[in-house]
Amino acid sequence: MSSKSYDVAGVLIYLASNYKLRILCIRRYQNKIDESVYALLKEIIENDDYFKPQFTILKSSIIHNVTGSEFIFFGLHKSIDEVVGLQGISITWIEEAHSLLEFEWNRLKPTILRTSNSFCILVFNPQFDTDFVYKNFVINQRDDTLVRKINYLENPFLNESAKTLIENDKKYLEPDDFNHIYLGNPKAENEESFIKRAWIEACINANEILGITTRGSYKIGYDIADSGNDKSANVVVHGNEVIEIIEWKSKEHELELSAEKTLNRALNYNANIIYDCIGVGASAGAVFKRLGYNNFSKFDAGAGVRSPDKDYMPRRKNKDHFENLKAQSWQKVADMMLHTYKAVVLKEPFDEDMILSINPKCDKIEQLKIELSSPMKQLSARGLVKVESKKDLAKRGIPSPNIGDAFIAAFAEFNSFGRFK
């Protein structure tokens, strides 16, 4: 109801009538021309006495009779190879851009931004703040991007029926749902998320809010980059409070440099390093030993659960509830964050040992919220709780949660001998 698409269509029709342009109009999913913005452009042109005689509307394109400007239409999901081969694109309009994936954008860029002064218009209603387009262009506040949020409040042509519907929905919808549907905010929660965003937000400065003194041993969760685009991360924990979040680019062959960076941080805090020992991380322990540091513990996410015969809940043992140690560790953090949420937000009595606090001075807190709230809670073939895999996250366009994994590792329960408590 905000008229975003109408505004873009109107501006592009005006530009096409004054300059010679080749305008590429894309939807991610488009099986036929009627599903594109072709119908919208056609409607605006045919209903305008000034523009109607200027354009020739063909079956699959729209051409300006004087400037020679051309609108062309593609569905990205099935035609990306055709799009990549296009030449001379002046402006690209991507409609419903919230579903655009990072690898698709990376393939498109050389084509759509090749021409001098070319630019791209991304029009979308946000779904989640983890979506690539929202995260990359809105949250990151890039210097080369103009972001304009628009909603129904700026639509002077909104009819009375629509206004009545909105006012009624404002009364009966949950605030988060109303803000998402009408005000252009991403959904606050994915109901299937292992850890809810609201729980994470409640942990920020929880110790101070609840009058808890930060004290205890220091631990560093260490997630090790395992591919060309991956990053390494450290999360430093003092007692129950996260006090530092760090992420850096590192390549697979730079394991020793990353280990030294982590080791130097551990020396500053006299901290136990808990590291991901799967894949390239398997040799990190040997690096620490060779550098003379023995205060470290392995975290094997795929290992069997801790205390398998202990009840997680009445009449349900750990071994009958969790698929592996990764799921058990994520659940531990989720339980702590939920307990903290109930204490901070709902003002319920709390157990200090179950409070998890995040120092508000930490860097990358927004990224942490995204990474911890992205993976979904799933069931394995055996009906056991598991965490959505990195491969499945990638299918949704969500990159590896580096600081999220380091965060989980930091709260895994180890003793000083590298064994679980």
Write out 142-179 in H/E/C secondary structure: CCCCCCCCCCHHHCCCCCHHHHHHHHHHHHHCCHHHHH
Q: How confident is the model at residue 418 (pLDDT cuts 50, 70, 90)?
A: very low
Nearest to 322 by CA among 338, 331, 314: 331
The CATH number of the domain covering residues in 4-150? 3.40.50.300
Structure tokens at 138: 């809105």
pLDDT at 315: 87
- Average pLDDT rounded to a whole number, residues 379-391: 92
| Per-residue model confidence (pLDDT) at position 31 | 66
pLDDT over 70, % of the chain: 95
Over residues 21-60, the pLDDT tens digits come to: 999 999 877 766 766 899 999 999 999 999 999 999 999 9
Nearest to 375 by CA among 310, 315, 331, 340: 331
Give the contacts of 143 (CB within 8 A, at least 6 positions apart): none
How buried is residue 391: exposed, middle or buried, by Cβ count under 10 Å (0-12/13-18/19+)?
exposed
Question: Which string of b and e fits 309-323 if b means at least 16 CB within 10 Å?
Answer: eeebeeeeebbebbb
In this predicted model, what pLDDT tens digit does every residue of 101-150 receive, in sequence order? Answer: 888 899 999 999 989 999 999 999 988 777 889 888 998 778 899 999 88
Class of residue 327 by CB neighbours under 10 A (exposed 0-12, middle 13-18, buried 19+)? buried
Residue type at position 301: A
User: Over 80: is that where the pLDDT of 373 sits?
Assistant: yes
Q: Selecting from 3.30.420.240, 3.40.50.720, 3.30.470.10, 3.30.930.10, what CATH number does the domain 197-410 have?
A: 3.30.420.240
DSSP codes joined into one string, 14-30? HHHHHS--EEEEEESS-
Strand-pair partners of 235: 221, 245
Residue 94 has what pLDDT? 95
Q: Is the pLDDT of residue 220 over 90?
A: yes
Comparing CA positions, the residue from 243, 210, 223 lying closest to residue 365 is 243
Q: To 10 degrees, what angle do helices 4-18 and 38-46 make?
A: 70
**For range 280-296, the mean pLDDT:** 86
Is-contact 399 102, C-beta < 8 A? yes
Residues 6 or more apart whose CB falls under 8 angstroms from that of 145 comprise 137
Length of the chain as a residue count: 421
Which pLDDT band, with edges at 50, 70 and 90, does 222 fall under? Answer: very high
Could you tell me the residue ranges of all domains in the chain? 4-150, 197-410
Q: Tokens in use for 356? A: 């998890």
Residue 421 reports pLDDT greater than 70: no
**Rounded (to 5) percent helix, strand, coil in the chain:** 40, 20, 40
Residues ≥6 apart with Cβ < 8 Å to 28: 75, 76, 77, 94, 96, 97, 99, 100, 104
Q: What is the mean pLDDT of the chain?
A: 89
Give the pLDDT confidence score for residue 127 in this predicted structure: 84
